[in-house]
Structure 1
Amino acid sequence: MTDDTNDQLEQQTPEQLAAELRQRVACLQRMGRNDLLLQAIGVPLLEQLRIEAARGNLSQLHIDTDYRFFLTAYNNREVELSPVHKAVYLLFLNHPEGIEFKRLGTYRTELLRLYKETSRWTDVDKVAMAVDRLVDPFDNAINEKCSRIKRAFTSLMDEYSASYYIIGSHTLRHVSGSSRVWYERLKVITLPRHLVVNDNAPRP
């Protein structure tokens, strides 16, 4: 692609580029060359497009006063999770900015409170021990809990829709000064928060 072509593309609006892209896609499809279309798009981008397409059909997640999780658009089907998994999930729901696993200890008090609320156990020591394992950076407990949460959602919906509900990975790149680059490897739930109805949340 020449510099002149690049300049012309940069002068077009996103809407104009999209219209031109539609025409070219339709042309390749008429030629029966979906293979070239897939090659041009690339599998990683295709996966991102599928995830974006799923965004328009996401279900509301309703959390009732007994901390039961329901997907309202799926005939109110319940997401079966144990109290500890619910506590972990609620923690990440409360922090849409994301949390690094290695910094979970910072959230110990909040996680402990959530676990007490979801379990309603009287054995406070047992709850505290479980939370200590979750925030221990040398323990695999938090990864196990996130895997179980993922299985609960993927058992109820396709993987592209589920990607919005699970505790997934997101990396933020930071540049300090002119040369130092560092990354935050966050775990985050990308479900738009207007789709979350938590009956236990404090009322404004």
Structure 2
Amino acid sequence: MSDKLSISYHTAKIILLELLENNDFSTDKDILKILGSIIQKEINNETNNDKEEMSRIIIDKDGRIFLPDYSPKEVKMQYLPKTVFLFFLIHKEGIEFKSMYNYMHELYEIYQIVTLEKNMEAGKLRDSIENLVEPVNNRIYETCSIIRRSLSMVVPKALMEIYCITGKRGEKRRIGIDSSLIEIENTKLKEMFDQRHNH
């Protein structure tokens, strides 16, 4: 096999395509091995490309959301969807929707951070959170749809599932993005995040 044929790339390609079309190579181990390694390289390249395309999530000191590697603009959300998004970013281990009422105090704290209005009527705040975690209504599902819509403005379609709250009904819901890509500048939120991630 040391004497290599000197034929042009174009000719070699025509011969190879003809051979592949007209012959069954499914039993030829050498050919299958080469084809397998080529396919594996392609898969690896695609996976690496995905990693390169991932943007960090930056939560600034005012609780604003940025995905700077996709867009310099803030990812705007209303207070309640933003509270839920930040809550799930903090709880990377995942939480079932029906268990969210156990985290009322934490949700309330996050809500206060994102509203920036410390004197906002406490009763009003609590009603919004209670309505959100009430198991019999669909408020949490509507809220997740709003989050998805806001993120879709900047996140590539192929990577949406990594940035959104996902999970099957009755199971834990989570945001799949790696913790190393999350940067939190707000002191209180960072504290909450670190408590969960530094065990």
Shift of 1:24: 6.9
Unaligned 5+ residue runs, structure 1?
1-16, 27-45, 172-183
Q: Deviations over 1:27-67 (max 9, x none)?
A: xxxxxxxxxxxxxxxxxxx9xxx888634410011111111
User: 4+ residue runs of structure 1 moved beyond 2 angstroms?
Assistant: 17-26, 50-56
Instruction: Specify the code of the residue in structure 1 equivalent to 2:183.
Output: V
Report the TM-score, using the length of structure 1 for normalisation. Answer: 0.66
The structure that is strand-richer by fraction is 1
Q: Deviations over 1:149-184 (max 9, x none)?
A: 00111121222212111111158xxxxxxxxxxxx6
User: Is 1:141 the counterpart of 2:139 in the alignment?
Assistant: yes
Q: Matches of residues 126-165 of structure 1 in structure 2 within 5 Å?
A: 126-165=124-163
Larger radius of gyration: 2
Shift of 1:117: 1.2
Shift of 1:100: 0.5
CA distance in 2, matches of 1:148, 1:62: 19
Instruction: Specify the code of the residue in structure 2 equivalent to 1:187.
Output: R
Instruction: Specify the code of the residue in structure 2 equivalent to 1:21.
Output: G
CA contact (8 A) 1:91 1:114 kept: yes
Report the TM-score, using the length of structure 2 for normalisation. Answer: 0.68
SS of structure 1 residue aligned to 2:58: strand
Question: In angstroms, what is the RMSD of aligned CA positions?
Answer: 3.0
- Please name the residue that 2:108 is paired with: 112
SS of structure 2 residue aligned to 1:108: helix
Percentage of matched positions with identical amino acids: 28
Instruction: Specify the code of the residue in structure 1 equivalent to 2:68.
Output: T
CA gap 1:74/1:189 in 2 versus in 1, 3 angstroms? same
Unaligned 5+ residue runs, structure 2?
1-31
